[in-house]
């Protein structure tokens, strides 16, 4: 899968748009070792379509922050343009 762009919404939430047309939005949420993803045509449906895609098995790593690049590597996806800011 290839994303045209992505940006952080807050510390552990990112929003991206798919290629080639950008018709779908993809949201990633990381919370205490669990990565969830939702894909939809409108923002309202993103939350309803959230599903767990990965869980960390090490309890000590639950409190570590991840970056958007970590998600891209995990899913073997590409993104043309993204901002990977860190929120305190």
- Which DSSP symbol is given to 59? G
Give yes or no for a contact between 64 and 4, defined as CB atoms under 8 angstroms apart. no
Residues shown for the chain: 88
Tens of pLDDT along 29-88? Answer: 998 889 999 999 988 889 899 999 998 888 777 677 788 889 999 999 988 888 765 554
Neighbours of 25 (CB within 10 A): 19
Alpha carbon 22 to its chain centroid, in Å, reads: 16
pTM over 0.95: no
Q: Write out the two tokens for 20.
A: 């080639």
């Amino acid at each position: 899968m290839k994303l045209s762009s992505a940006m952080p919404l807050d510390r552990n939430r990112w929003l991206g748009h798919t290629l080639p047309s950008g018709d779908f939005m993809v949201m990633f949420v990381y919370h205490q070792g669990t990565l969830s993803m939702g894909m939809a045509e409108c923002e309202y449906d993103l939350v309803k379509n959230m599903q767990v895609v990965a869980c960390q098995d090490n309890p000590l790593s639950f409190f570590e922050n991840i970056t958007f690049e970590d998600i891209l590597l995990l899913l073997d996806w590409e993104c043309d343009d993204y901002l990977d800011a860190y929120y305190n």
